[in-house]
Structures are given as C-alpha cells and as structure tokens.
Structure 1
Amino acid sequence: MKMKMLSKKNNNVIFFWWLGMIMKFCFLLCACSENTSLSGGSKKINSFGSTSIVKLNTEDNQQLVIDNGIVSVTLSRPEGHVIAISYNGIDNILESENDEDDRGYFDVVWNEVGKPSTFQRIEGTNFSVIAADENMVEVSFLRSWTSSMSGKDVPINIDKRYIFRSGDSGFYSYAIFDRPEGMPAVEVDQIRYVFKLNQHRFKYMALSNTRQRSMPTMRDRDTGQVLAYKEAVLLTKPINPQFRGEVDDKYQYSCENTDNTVHGWINFDSDEPVGFWMITPSNEFRNGGPIKQDLTSHVGPITLSMFVSTHYAGKEVTMAFEEGETYKKVFGPVFVYLNTDSSKNDNTTLWSDAVQQLSKEVKSWPYDFPKSQDYFPPNQRGAVFGRLLVQDWYLQGGKFQGTNAYVGLALPGDAGSWQRESKGYQFWTRSDAKGYFKINNIVPGDYNLYGWVPGFIGDYKYNGTITITPGGVINLNYLVYNPPRNGPTIWEIGIPNRLASEFHVPDPYPTLMNKLYTAQRRDKFRQYGLWERYTDMYPNDDLIYTVGVNKYRDWFYAHVTRSKGNKTYEPTTWQIIFEHEQDIISGNYTLQLALASAADADLQVRFNDPSIYPPHFATGLIGGDNAIARHGIHGLHWLFSIDVPSDLLVKGKNIVYLRQSKALSPFQGVMYDYIRLERPSSKT
C-alpha cells in the first residue's frame, strides 16, 4: 500500500536501484562462469582474483614478497633466489627442507679456456624495483662483474628479472646477459632456471599428452643401484613397490626444443589438485635450433627451463667468448604457471588447462610488458616470408614443393651452422604442404636464412644476408634448394630425416625398463641399455646388410662397440653388400653418408678391402653428443659426400665396410640417418 503513495520521482529511484542490483548480480554471475574449470564443470581456482592488485613488500632487507592475490612469491634480497611460492592454501610449493638458495634459482656452467667447468648459482648484488603499480611489478637482481671476480665468477653482467601482473596465476622471469668491452675470455656450457618442488606433495609428472605418470622419489634413487652412469639408477628399494625394478634417468624425459614448451608436476595430496608448470612460449633465445634436445622435468621433483646447454651436442655448441668480445642477449621471459581444480585426482583437466595456457602465451608472444630496453616488443620486430622448392633432376619429376620444411633465421654462417650456434637469436617455422612459409616476430639484426626438407639430404642456405629492421617485412619470393647429388641412385638405406628412428630399435631388457614407455613403440628408444643389445644380437660377427634382401628396419639403430666383458670393448665393422650388375662407369661414384649422431667416434669407410690402410675415407674423431647413452635418437647431424673412384668397385658383388674404430666405452659410436650410393652422372 505504501508503494502506491510514493511519488513518480521515488518510483524512478527504486527502479534504478533494482536495475543496479540486477546488473551487479549479472556481473558476479559472469565472473563466476569465467572461473569454472575447463572440463566437467568443476571449479577452477587459479583465475579468481582477476581484479586484485599486485602488492610489493620490501620492508625486510633480506627478503621481499610479491603478491598478486593469486600467487605470492618470496625472493631473497639482493640475491634473487625464489625462496617460497604460496598458492591455493599451500604455504610453499617449493622444497622448504632445502637451503634457501636451493629451491628456485638461476645457474650457469662455465669455464675459463682450458680449465674445468664451474657450476655457479647467479646471485644478484643489486636489487631494484623496475616498475610497481597495482597492475604490475617488475623487479631486478643484478650481478655485475668486476676484475676482482676473475677466475671465481662468470665474466658476464647478469640481470635476473621477475614480473608479476594482476590476474596472472603465476609469474614471468627472464635474464639479460651483457658483456661490455674489456671482459676476459670464457666458455659457457649451460644457462637455466631450476625449481625444486615439495617432494612430499608433487609426485605426478607430465611432459606431453602421452608422457606423464606417477613418479618415484629422490629417496628411491638414493637407495637404488647406479648403472652405467650416475644419472641412470635401478630402483631396488622404492617407497612405492610399483617402481621396483624400474630404471629412472632424467635423460629419459628429454625432448626437442620445438616440443619443450610446457611441462611440470601435479600435487594430488592437497584438498584440490595443484599443478606447477614451466611454459616457454618461444624458442628464439635457446641454443642449437629447433631440434636440439634438452632436459625438461625429472625426479626431485624438479622442473627446469633450459636456455643453453651442451646436452645432445657436446662442446661444439659451447658459447665461446674471446677476450674483449662484447655481447648482449635476453633469455626469456618464461612463465611459471600454477593451476588447480576441485576434481580430485583429475590430471587430465590440469594438463589440458596448462596446454591451453601455453596457447595463450604463444598468441601473446612477443610480450609487450617487460620493461627492459634490451627486450624487443612486437612493434620493434620484423618478418620474412617466401616459398621453398626443391630441385633434384635425378628423381622423377625433378621439382618438388618444400613440404613441411624447416626454415629459419640464425646468425650468419655456413649452411647448417645454425645447429652449432649458441650466441644469437634463432627464429624457425615449418612450411606448409606447398612450401610456403612466414617467420614473424624477428629481432632486428643481420641473419642468414637456413632450411632443410625432410626426405632430402643436406642443408639449404639463402645466398645473401637478410637484414631485419623494426617493422620491416621481407618477401623472398621463390627459393630453390638443390640437395647434394652427383648422379643417379644405385641403392639407399634409411630415410633422410636426421633421425635413426626408422632403423631397428631393440626391445629393452625386461629388468631395466621404464614403464612409461612400455606401450609406446615410437618412444622405445628412450629405454635404458639398448646399446648393449647389439652385443646380444651380434656376439661374434657384426651386422651384414644385403641390398635388395634386407630392409632398413634390419639396420641396428646405433653403430656401437661390442662388449668383451670386464669393461672391455672392441671396434665393430658393418658390411653393406650389393650387386653392381652393369659395367663400372669411369669416374667417381659418390657415397652420401648422413649421420644422425656421433659420440667420440672415428668412422672409417673401405670398399672391397676390409684391411686397407689408410682407409679410403675416415671422419676422424668426431662428436660429443652422447645421444647413445642419453636415450636420444639423434644428436648433431653430419653429412659426408665421399668420392669413390670407379677402380674401387667391380662388376658383380661389392662390399662397403663401415668400421667404428674407437672402443674405450659402450657409448662410443654413431647413428646413421641415411646412406646412398650414386653412380657418376651421364650428363655433360
């Protein structure tokens, strides 16, 4: 009744009050809907607080705390180590039982020329706030080198940066390396971030859709039996009996740079599962190109962000600086991402969410928020596009589209030099089915354009330096790659794809298995001890391959030594037997010999005479990629085009002898990518 007595003006007031309440309710409803999980309708906590402010607490002279309402991180001051990460009711995601400098840190492995390597955690000496408001905080922990540090600290100025933004379920980190004039010579083998997680909580590791599982513990490794090298351990007394008899080795969890984008751990021991993920949205700052392999996560529980390493490559990819050489580069940013979901024991949801977050980060790359003037934002970068074709007149058709070719920019050098290059930025893409490619977001500078095409041997290099300017776009039009070829194919073994995976990868020893790979045939090469199966298969005589009779799947995946017992080994000599039914053509035949890996090897090639010395061809001592021991199906790629004078061959039966002559360990040897014999060209 009172409502009827209200004036028209009051009616309007009430109307707008109710309208405001309805709008507020709708806003809250929408906010809640955004916070539902990615599957199953369960609640996802990590995106709550999207309107919260970022708070920086620097009152403690030895620590600082940065809190964005979702994640709170404690950093040592001025060192810049990550001491604690608080999230979703967990006080510290990291291993609080470790020393404060052994939880989340940035390290470098380096050496003075000719001296042993030094492992060094980089500790800042000068802390500063780069930016701070309610939306974002960026802090710096700078360690500047002085001559008083000679021989004790890596001679590079290193600035570690951390970025916290409102609404992010995590934080960003990057590092700036700077060598002004006057610094001494140095070799740098490794640059990385390390996060050691709470061992009592994080027991499930995920690297990809198919490579994820519950994991053993560091205690399980400590009580196990060390195998041929310290990283490989047979678990003999694990806490969880399901791991008894398995082999654990951090190298079993490596992957190529192009796939090393998101990995981490899940904690199922809290009220709601929590995931910790390392997300790398770009490979431009990593060394060795797109297919170089490196570490990811492994037992500890440990999660890594690898920027530079010699893994699966050896000292050939070391960053070697001469005395006085200047240098500057930004490594990162990478994103440490945390998520949670109320679905108990649902690893699928957390992994899928991490993959979706990766997609968001990739779309946002390059970021526009880092404050360092050494970081190149989107509007300062350029692009290159074109089309790659292949021309090989000895194959039917003659011309081919560069389907799924790898095309990239790296520092100027010889064809293929990109895989041994570690100082500069690299920018890679894959062409489409017709060979079209575009490379975006290139840092300004001078580059060569490189490439290779699966199915064809050799490396492509564009004839000319490409200069990228801010905002510049370069159209290279049609590019033609002429792969190495001196004549028609007589026979071939394998597939030219820079891998040894198409060859015979043996079954592992039943007592030395990692169950993660028992049902995955394509990843069987990651099992421990496969190199020893060669001695089992060929205890006395070596591999013999007869062209036209054998298939390439009969070819053992690695040309290794033979064990003679008591830790002694002997060289092995493989044979390729083929019939040359036609008359021998005067001139040079060509043996195209492509290697997918080499580890302290000397491969000798002889034709129809197994004992002639010197051999008709020898690689000399090559390789340090350790791919045989570290479960890699390839390391660095090698290509040798070997002239074979016609008087070395005969009409009828011929034998090519391949002898790997070094035999001090079980890991010396090579992996073959592809072998082809060509007869002399009839073209004039």
Structure 2
Amino acid sequence: MKMGWWRKWCSDFRFLGILLQFLLLTQCAALKRQRIHKNNSDDEMYYSPVQLHLLEDHVVLDNGILNVTLSTPAGMITGIEYNGIDNLLESEYEEINRGYWDIVWSKPDHPQDITDKLDGNSVYVVREDENQIELSFLQTWSSSKTGLPLNIDKRFIMLRGSYGFYSYAIVERFKGWPEMSMSQGRIVFKLQPNLFQYMAVSDDRQRIMPTMHDREKGHPLDYPEAVLLTDPDNSFLKGEVDDKYQYSSDNKDNRVHGWICSDPPTGFWMITPSNEFKTAGPVKQDLTSHAGPISLSMFFSTHYAGIPLMVKFGDGEPWKKVFGPVFIYVNSVSDDEDPLALWADAKEQMLIETKSWPYDFPSSEEFLNAEQRGTVSGRLLVHDRYISERPIIADSAFIGLAPPGDAGSWQRENKGYQFWTETDARGYFVIKDIRPGNYNLYAWVPGFIGDYKCNFQINILPGSKIRLRNLIYAAPRNGPTLWEIGVPDRTAAEFFVPDPNPTLMNQLYVTQPDKFRQYGLWDRYTDMYPYEDLVYTIETNNYETDWYFAHVNRNVGNKTYVPTTWKILFNLVDVDESSNYTLQLALASANEAELQVRINDGTLEVPHFTTGSIGKDNSIARHGIHGLYWLYTVGIPGSLLLSSNTNTIFLTQSRGSSPWRGIMYDYIRLEGPPSTDIETLKH
C-alpha cells in the first residue's frame, strides 16, 4: 500500500518536473524571441500606453518602443526614433522628402507628369486612447483648385506594444470632377545612408548596397536608373552595375523587404499583408527597396506594363479606393547577435500580419473587417482532350476575383480590388476576405495556355459564403501537338539566359538562377549572333540552351539596332494540304514590338500573320522575365507546309532602332488538324 503510494507520488513528481521543465523552456524561448525586439530591457513584459504629443507644427506618436514624428497639417513622416537612434530617416533631407505618400498624375491637356506628395491641409485625431492612436491628414479638392482632383485621407496608426506603425489612405473623387490620369502611387522612406547599408528583398536577394553618393560618382549607362560604380566608398562594389529595377518583385512575392543597420543592429521593414488594393493581379511587378537607401510600398504603377495600367478617369467619373494598411516594422538585436536574424524576424512578423488580415483596428468605415467580407470556394479542372479524355486537375493554378471584364482583363485592371489564391494539389481553392461587390472569377493554369473566366458574375455580400461547383477550363486547342518550345507559365525563365558582360555585372546574380536581372543582356544577343540570327531545329535543339530568352534587335554599331528574324526548322510527313494547322504563340512580354510570321518563305513582303504594334512593358530594359501576357492563335493552311521535307517558320520582330524593342516568348506550339492522328504526323 505504502509502496504503491510512493510509486504514484514519484510518477506524479516526474510528470510535474517534466511539465515545469517544458514551461521553463517555453518561457526561455519566448524571452529569446522578445530579445530580438527589446534587447533584454528590464521592461520586457511591460508595454507603455500610446501617447500623442502635440507640438507647434508636428505631432509625435509614442508607444515607449518607438516615436514617429509627423508634420502638421501636411502629414509627412519627418522622424522615426528607435533603438537609441534619433532618426532612422535621413535628416539632411527636407522634411517633405524623408517619408511620404505621393501620386504621379497628369492632365489631359498637359501630358507631362506632376508629382503630388499629398500634403494635407488639415489634421484630425480619429482615435486616442492608451491602446491606439489614429491620425487623419486630409487633402481636399474643389472646383476652385488647380491641383490633383482627388480627396486624400492619409491615416497613421500606432498600437500599444507594436514595433512599428501602420499607414493607409482613402482616395476619392466625385461626379463632375475633371478628367485626369495617374501613373504611380506609393509610400516612400529614405533612410540614413551612414546606418542602413544592407538590403534584403528575399532569402536569396540580399546584399551590401551602394549609396546615392556612390551612384553620383559612377558612370551613367544606357538609361538613368543604371549606373556603373567606378569609385564607391566600399571598394567591394567597384565595377558593379546598380539599377533599382534589378530588385523588382511580383506582387505575390512582395510581402516584406527592407534594410539592416549593423551598428546598432536595427532593421527597417515594409510589410504588405495583402495585395487586394494593388493593381493588375499577383504577377504584376514593381519596385521594392533600392539604393538610397530607399524603401517603397508601391500601390499602383505602369512599371512592366505601360499605358494599360495608367489609371484614367473620364470627365465626371467618380471613384473611391482604400490603399493599405501597410505595416512599417522595426526590430533590433543585441550587439553580440547576428544582424541577419533581423531578416528572419521580419519574415515571421510578415506572417503574423498576413494572418491578421483584414485588420480589426482601422477606424475608417471604408476599411472593411472580416465580418463585412465574403468567401468563395470551389474546384478548378482543365479540359484538353488531346491530353486526356477526363478532366485534368488544375494544380497550383492562380485563381481570383477581379472587376468584371474579358478573360485575362485582370492583368490590365487598375481601379478596383483583386483577391487571389492558388489551387491545391487536387484543384480546390478558397478565396477569403473579399470585399462586397460584383466580380468575375478568373484563373490561369501553369502548363496550359490562355485565360479562364467563369461565365457568370459573382456577387459578394457581407458575410456571404459562396461554394461553386466544379469549374472547367477549356484550354485553347485546335489539334494535337506536333511540337512545342518552352513551358506555358507566362514567363521566359526556362529559356537560355547568357552570362552578362564581365564589365557590367551585379555580383548578386552571378550564382542566382534569375540571371535575367543582369544589366545589358540585350547586347549579349549580338555577341552570340553577330551576323546570323537564331536558328532552332525542333528535332535536335533544346530550348533551355538554344532559345534566347528575349527576341531583341542586333547592334550593328554606332548605337544602330536592326530587326532580327528567328527560324524554326521542323519536318512533317503526310501533310494534309486541305486542312488547317495552328500555331499557338504565347508571349511573356512585348515592348514597342511587332511579331511577323512567315511560313516557308522569309522573303514575302506581306507576312502570313502579324501582331501589329504591341506592348510597352519595357521588361527587357528593366530586367524582368515577363510583362503583360499575349496569346495569338495563328491558322496555317496545310497548303503552305511541305510533306517529308524541312519546313521553316520565320519569326521577325520588325521594329528596330532601339535595343529594348522586342518580345519574350512564353511558349510556342504547332498543332495538327483536329481530325488527324498525331503519330502519323510526327517525323
């Protein structure tokens, strides 16, 4: 009896010891996580109330962790005090040029761009208590004014215990207001260059960066953004090319980026918890952080798209949109810890912010919380009878809601909200937190060309949960595949990207898979094909090594660029001259280009097909691997093809004069007639 009691006591004691050990380890882990913010201060577990300090022409948001100073009534961020640093921003700049919102716009009768920094003409305290302060800076327009015809309500929020602050804006225009266009809207932060010299955009895109002074001393290259660093303060950077477009990212990948100061170890990060307020969908590319040091939150721009993403308003057209909130996050570690831990912590904070979306603390009724939003779920399948008689699972497809339009219109949409996700391995999807309104459901599926659009509109109401039946995407197809070049994924990433000119390199991308971000690759085509253009033989060549990633012009000297013609050689047997064949041309990018197609006669004055002048996405010059997506279905009469002989398709990019006029192919496929057996057509 006593022995049983003793065994039970010992067992309970061991259990209690294990439990206490677990709690102790958990607490130690928590303290270690907190150290990344608080440097082991005595007040680790205590957060001061948020305070608002009113000065003569400034206000200060103070939560005991950081202070943020804003000018009044303009609403410029003039100072950020944190971790013993008086101001993370460059105080040598004027107050209007440290941290600010801006919009680049134009009038119809004055097409030159005007930059408005959205300085407010009044300021209001929206909320003030010990847990939260929210300020509103208003810029209003009336018919008696000549400036930007928008009402701007800039908001700044500081929360108790938060290592950063939030900012968002409600932008509005009313009926009767004048015609205008906008090409860019963003938040800009210019940090102290003597402190912030290490930039991180992703796990594999991090580096010590040059300063603006380094750039000013450098040698300008073919366009203003690109500079060869000839005498940088840090000799490690000498001989490198710096260009802000080398650090662009797709919206879907642009969740957190920023800068690290090594002494004292401090991080400054821009966190974007949702892309619903950004234009043109998940694969729209834009700027992140770049030399300055500068950190950006881009809401809309024409980058990598051109005029289609110019936000144009007709005379009297009303509009309203909420941009943000985005989170400006700061962190720190002790002097004996690795400053790179700040990047890992910033990623963790990004996940926290993303899971918290939509936020429940913004005070504006225009920002809708989770209860005011809806959900859509379903499953996407693909039908392509030349691959399978049964529906194919749309694995990892991008699927989303955007304002009504044609199939694929989402990539040019620039006024509304978009909500995207990816399908799982079985094709299922759930799109959450959708603002009420009327939408079309769009999708595109890696491995298949074209765009899907659901054939009915979806009306989202507050709290609605819409479950769709199986959706079938009939991928464009007229006949069986005779041959193909590339992978239909809307990029040219799978094609051959050359090494850069050794004198014009960015060392970051020497060992990276995205070599396309190197400067000057348009001229490397001329180095590889100085006299004759690319010839690709279907039976023997490999697109990964033999198909150049961009169809560009040839440099013939004296900065003269001439059009080029690529050839695809292939053999067919038993050509059906009475039937039609199909050439599917999917383009990943086009910039002031014209693609002409000729079949078996490259001397024809009039091509069998031409795209006409297309595109202005400038992806070649701006180190992108894609811009806007284009799909052309070209019919080829069988009478133009040769049986049991070599056929040639001539692809001419006919617009010369510039190194950056050209296209990038996504995927090319030749299809046989619908009724034929593919095996009898192959050679």
Identify the TM-score tier after normalising by the shorter chain: over 0.9
| Alpha-carbon distance between aligned partners in 2 of 1:41 and 1:224, rounded to the nearest angstrom | 37
8 Å contact kept, 1:35–1:47:
no
- Partner residue of 1:107 out of 84, 102, 109: 102
| Alpha-carbon distance between aligned partners in 1 of 2:187 and 2:616, rounded to the nearest angstrom | 24
Q: Secondary structure at the match of 1:560?
A: coil
* Cross-structure match for 2:536: 545
Matched letter for residue 541 of structure 2: N
Matched letter for residue 124 of structure 1: G
TM-score, normalising length: structure 2: 0.93
RMSD across aligned positions (CA):
2.0
| Alpha-carbon distance between aligned partners in 2 of 1:128 and 1:46, rounded to the nearest angstrom | 35
8 Å contact kept, 1:287–1:422:
yes
Matches within 5 A, 1:163-562: 163-270=157-264, 273-344=265-336, 346-396=338-388, 398-520=390-512, 522-553=513-544, 554-562=546-554
TM-score, normalising length: structure 1: 0.93
Q: Show structure 1 runs of 5+ residues with no match.
A: 1-26
8 Å contact kept, 1:585–1:680:
no
| Alpha-carbon distance between aligned partners in 1 of 2:436 and 2:36, rounded to the nearest angstrom | 46
Matched letter for residue 156 of structure 1: L
C-alpha displacement of 1:645: 1.8
| Alpha-carbon distance between aligned partners in 2 of 1:585 and 1:485, rounded to the nearest angstrom | 20
Q: Secondary structure at the match of 2:524?
A: helix
1:47-70: CA deviations, max 9, x gaps? 947521010112x23111110111
Structure 2 CA distance for partners of 1:57 and 1:578, relative to 1, 3 Å: same
C-alpha displacement of 1:116: 1.6
| Alpha-carbon distance between aligned partners in 2 of 1:633 and 1:401, rounded to the nearest angstrom | 27
Structure 2 CA distance for partners of 1:344 and 1:295, relative to 1, 3 Å: farther
Structure 2 CA distance for partners of 1:75 and 1:49, relative to 1, 3 Å: farther
Q: Show structure 2 runs of 5+ residues with no match.
A: 1-22, 678-683
| Alpha-carbon distance between aligned partners in 2 of 1:300 and 1:79, rounded to the nearest angstrom | 24
8 Å contact kept, 2:575–2:638:
no
Matched letter for residue 102 of structure 1: N
Q: Secondary structure at the match of 1:505?
A: coil
C-alpha displacement of 1:593: 0.2
| Alpha-carbon distance between aligned partners in 1 of 2:101 and 2:640, rounded to the nearest angstrom | 56
8 Å contact kept, 1:274–1:338:
yes
1:680 aligns with 2:673: yes
Q: Secondary structure at the match of 1:61?
A: coil
Structure 2 CA distance for partners of 1:457 and 1:33, relative to 1, 3 Å: closer
8 Å contact kept, 2:35–2:334:
no
C-alpha displacement of 1:354: 0.3
1:120 aligns with 2:116: yes
| Alpha-carbon distance between aligned partners in 1 of 2:34 and 2:569, rounded to the nearest angstrom | 58
C-alpha displacement of 1:532: 0.8
| Alpha-carbon distance between aligned partners in 2 of 1:166 and 1:42, rounded to the nearest angstrom | 14
8 Å contact kept, 1:49–1:167:
no
| Alpha-carbon distance between aligned partners in 1 of 2:37 and 2:166, rounded to the nearest angstrom | 29
1:643 aligns with 2:635: yes
8 Å contact kept, 1:442–1:468:
yes
| Alpha-carbon distance between aligned partners in 2 of 1:47 and 1:453, rounded to the nearest angstrom | 51
Q: Secondary structure at the match of 1:633?
A: coil
Matched letter for residue 207 of structure 2: R
Structure 2 CA distance for partners of 1:631 and 1:101, relative to 1, 3 Å: same
C-alpha displacement of 1:30: 9.6
C-alpha displacement of 1:410: 0.2
8 Å contact kept, 1:49–1:70:
no
Q: Secondary structure at the match of 1:369?
A: coil
8 Å contact kept, 2:266–2:339:
no
Q: Secondary structure at the match of 1:626?
A: coil
8 Å contact kept, 1:268–1:345:
no
1:50-100: CA deviations, max 9, x gaps? 521010112x23111110111101100000000000001111000000000
Structure 2 CA distance for partners of 1:450 and 1:253, relative to 1, 3 Å: same
| Alpha-carbon distance between aligned partners in 2 of 1:505 and 1:683, rounded to the nearest angstrom | 37
8 Å contact kept, 2:36–2:331:
no
- Partner residue of 1:54 out of 50, 54, 59: 50
C-alpha displacement of 1:221: 0.5
Matched letter for residue 477 of structure 2: R
Identity percentage over the alignment?
56
| Alpha-carbon distance between aligned partners in 2 of 1:249 and 1:561, rounded to the nearest angstrom | 22
Matched letter for residue 51 of structure 1: Y
- Partner residue of 2:567 out of 557, 575, 585: 575
* Cross-structure match for 1:15: none
| Alpha-carbon distance between aligned partners in 1 of 2:34 and 2:340, rounded to the nearest angstrom | 10
